Amino acid sequence: MSEVRGVANEDLIRLDADERKRVRRRSWKLLVSLAAPNKALLILAAVLIVLSTIARTSFPLLIAWAIDWALPAAQRNDWVPLAVVGGLYLLASCAAGPLLGWYEVTSKRVSQEMLLDLRLRVFRHTQRLSLEFHENYTSGRIISRQTSDVETLREFLDQGLTALVSGVLFVVFTGASILFLDGWSFLVVIVASIPIAIIFRWYQKRSEVLYRESRVVSARLISTFMETMTGIRAVKAFRREAENDRAYEDVAMEYRANSIKSINLFGVLQPSLVVIGNLTVAAVLLFGGLRVINGTLLVGTLVALLLASKRVFSPVDEIANFYSSLQSATAALEKVSGLLEEEPTIVEDPEPIALKNAKGRIEFKNVEFGYGAGPTVMEQFDLTIPAGQTVAVVGQTGAGKSTLAKMVARFYDVRSGELTIDSVPIKKLTAKDLRRAVVMVTQEAFLFSGTVADNIALGKPTASRDEIILAARAVGAHEFIEKLPDGYDTDVNKRGGRVSAGQRQLISFARAFLADPAILILDEATSSLDLPSERLVQHGLQQLLGNRTAIIIAHRLSTVEIADRVLVVHDGKIVEDGSPAELIAQGGRYAALDQAWQDSLGR
Ligand SMILES: Nc1ncnc2c1ncn2[C@@H]1O[C@H](COP(=O)(O)OP(=O)(O)OP(=O)(O)O)[C@@H](O)[C@H]1O
């Protein structure tokens, strides 16, 4: 049977018994590991809740003693029992509230500590996971794990847990006081607990499925929203609004349907509990009353029993209510623990080989590649790129160009064969050495919030302002940066809103220039640029290339002109390899591409 590891199968609503057990164990382990550092506070909270519940559940007993023992004694002028019972009553009344308050504060402090820990763990872990995970798991889902699931856990730990623990203890202690007072009445309470347990079980089974479903649907709701908003340009360009409205409405309605089902379930549970509670009091009154008439039960004891049996099931409502939040939290915990169970697929070698002053020679030996367990994307091939060479990779869409680049950046490991940089297997490099040697400039030219200078300095965090300016000058970005409202200190806003696409590209070139890697990978997509900025970027690019090894995924042939060598990738194979001139002379695929391009330029 397949095991549910990590986030695989996380959309499954009904798990089989074994899988359920494993997921439960995983969630429980996470909870224990979060609670462990707060052991002292947890023990304090436990002591406080026990003391406060003893104080709260002692009232019926004290009343029984007062009526049956202290008052008759007082009638005989013996005031000591009344003073003792009165004193205890006063003590319990004064202590119950503050103890409960202290417990709430303590337990909430623990829950805040646990939540902080969990939030940080989820963030750090998700960031640590390899690109493979991120390319398959949508960002909306991650956001839903970090927001909606953590929030559900917050609600539970903040409110539900304290109420649940104090409610359960209250029931147990009140039940114990009934047993202490009268065995027969306790039997009535036990009999009443049987239907309560059955209804609870029924509720638990159904609501567990519903709550798991609610986590899945709410993640889908967030994903749908995220996808629309992050792709808002495409949405507008293709007028997908109406279609998106419908898709979102479908998920939102599914979410509502799920919530209504939960509410209905609770609607059955709550009234049943009330009815059983009332019947219990009536039964205790009937049996007790008859025995009072017989003279086998004292009136004070009956009063205490009625008070206690009226109260014994009173928190059950609350328990049931917060039981839902426990279910919800369990479902959230299952998902979060699944995410935390994911392991990075790219791991550092425990015995790495240092790479100092990388030259940038890249060699693929008998390499074959495919994503995960998927089909082969690059068939077995050999390829050597000498240090300092500029290689343009061309080929139709989906041919495997980006895949080649992702292997060199070690976003993915090769399936078989070996990939080396300066003769060192890429798997043997430390992440630090690899990132210093290889820099990938993506099409996205992502700018982080902060200033332009901060964004360039990403390439070398220790860089001085002079170095930053030098890098910007080198790639031709200095002029436009100077003209920005605050020059290098201009805040680029979220996602670089204030700079144009070409300018963003130039900033990312400056960043790469400053990082000064031996190998530069460039996923070039400048189709969004107008002609002047294209020229600007082209010039910046040439400066950036210098004499490093460069792999350029070329979408436009103007870039190929500056390359020493062209690789044509087709159907997972390198089908042509040579200088642009050689390939044109060969008259193959590249020659055809070049011809088409020349024609389009009217040359
Ligand atoms: N993360 C992934 N998981 C599984 N398959 C993938 C993944 N990324 C790409 N592929 C598949 O690998 C093949 C090569 O994709 P690749 O992105 O390398 O193409 P490309 O030549 O760069 O295309 P384009 O010019 O459109 O960017 C395609 O069939 C694609 O569907």
Q: Are 452 and 489 in contact (CB under 8 A)?
A: yes
Q: Is 402 in the pocket of ligand 1 (CB under 6 A)?
A: yes
Which band of pLDDT confidence, cut at 50, 70 and 90, is reported for residue 458? confident
Nearest protein Cα to ligand 1, atom 16: 400
Residue type present at position 193: S
Tokens 């205890």 correspond to: 88
* Res 284 pLDDT > 90: yes
User: From the CA of 218, how far away is ligand 1's center (Å)?
Assistant: 30
User: From the CA of 226, how far away is ligand 1's center (Å)?
Assistant: 23
Structure tokens at 535: 């020229």
Nearest protein Cα to ligand 1, atom 4: 371
Nearest protein Cα to ligand 1, atom 7: 371
Q: What is the DSSP string of 511-566?
A: HHHHH--SEEEEE---TTS-HHHHHHHHHHHHHHHTTSEEEEE-SSHHHHTT-SEE
Length in residues, the chain: 603
User: From the CA of 249, how far away is ligand 1's center (Å)?
Assistant: 32
Q: Can you tell me which atom of ligand 1 is nearest the CA of 136?
A: 1
Tell me which of 135, 137, 371 to substitute to probe ligand 1's pocket, judged by most ligand atoms within 8 Å of the beta carbon: 371
Nearest protein Cα to ligand 1, atom 26: 397
Residue 408's H or E segment, with its range, is helix 401-408
Q: Are 404 and 551 in contact (CB under 8 A)?
A: yes
CA separation for the pair 547, 339 (Å, rounded): 42
Tell me which of 394, 401, 524 to substitute to probe ligand 1's pocket, judged by most ligand atoms within 8 Å of the beta carbon: 401
* Res 601 pLDDT > 80: no
Q: Can you tell me which atom of ligand 1 is nearest the CA of 400?
A: 18
Dihedral over Cα of 81, 82, 84, 89: its sign: positive
Which are the contacts of 313, defined by CB distance < 8 A and separation ≥ 6? 171, 192, 196, 273, 276, 277, 280
* Res 288 pLDDT > 60: yes
CA separation for the pair 574, 234 (Å, rounded): 33
Which band of pLDDT confidence, cut at 50, 70 and 90, is reported for residue 534? low
Amino acid 7: pLDDT? 73
User: From the CA of 239, how far away is ligand 1's center (Å)?
Assistant: 27
Which band of pLDDT confidence, cut at 50, 70 and 90, is reported for residue 1? very low
Q: Is 403 in the pocket of ligand 1 (CB under 6 A)?
A: yes
What is the average per-residue pLDDT within 458-486?
A: 88
Tell me which of 402, 404, 555, 573 to substitute to probe ligand 1's pocket, judged by most ligand atoms within 8 Å of the beta carbon: 402
Nearest protein Cα to ligand 1, atom 28: 398
ipTM above 0.85, yes or no: yes
Beta partners for residue 368, in sequence order: 416
Give the CA count within 13 Å in the CB-facing half-sphere of 267: 6
* Res 153 pLDDT > 70: yes
Angle between the 17-35 and 314-341 helix axes, to the nearest 10 degrees? 90
Dihedral over Cα of 466, 471, 475, 480: its sign: negative
Other beta carbons within 10 angstroms of residue 584's beta carbon come to 18
CA separation for the pair 272, 197 (Å, rounded): 11
Which band of pLDDT confidence, cut at 50, 70 and 90, is reported for residue 340? very high
Which band of pLDDT confidence, cut at 50, 70 and 90, is reported for residue 444? confident
For residue 250, give Cα distances in angstroms to 12, 217, 246, 247.
19, 11, 6, 5
Q: Can you tell me which atom of ligand 1 is nearest the CA of 404?
A: 18
For residue 352, give Cα distances in angstroms to 154, 338, 363, 433, 564.
41, 30, 18, 10, 32
Which band of pLDDT confidence, cut at 50, 70 and 90, is reported for residue 143? confident
Q: Is 6 in the pocket of ligand 1 (CB under 6 A)?
A: no
Q: Is 398 in the pocket of ligand 1 (CB under 6 A)?
A: yes
CA separation for the pair 589, 431 (Å, rounded): 37
User: From the CA of 551, how far away is ligand 1's center (Å)?
Assistant: 17
Q: Is 443 in the pocket of ligand 1 (CB under 6 A)?
A: no
Q: Are 68 and 301 in contact (CB under 8 A)?
A: yes
Q: Is 69 in the pocket of ligand 1 (CB under 6 A)?
A: no
| pLDDT mean across residues, the chain | 87
Domains of the chain: 23-341 (1.20.1560.10), 362-601 (3.40.50.300)
pLDDT: is 560 or 380 the higher one? Answer: 380
Q: H-type helices in 145-182, by residue range?
A: 150-155, 161-181
Q: Is 427 in the pocket of ligand 1 (CB under 6 A)?
A: no
Q: Can you tell me which atom of ligand 1 is nearest the CA of 135?
A: 1
* Res 496 pLDDT > 50: no
Buried b (16+ CB within 10 A) or exposed e, 195-213: ebeebbeebbebbbebbbb
Other beta carbons within 10 angstroms of residue 250's beta carbon come to 12
Q: Are 438 and 422 in contact (CB under 8 A)?
A: no
Which band of pLDDT confidence, cut at 50, 70 and 90, is reported for residue 179? very high
User: From the CA of 400, how far away is ligand 1's center (Å)?
Assistant: 6
What is the average per-residue pLDDT within 48-75?
A: 92
Q: Is 401 in the pocket of ligand 1 (CB under 6 A)?
A: yes
Q: Quick one: which of 452, 431, 257, 464 has its CA closest to 349?
A: 431
Global pTM reads 0.76
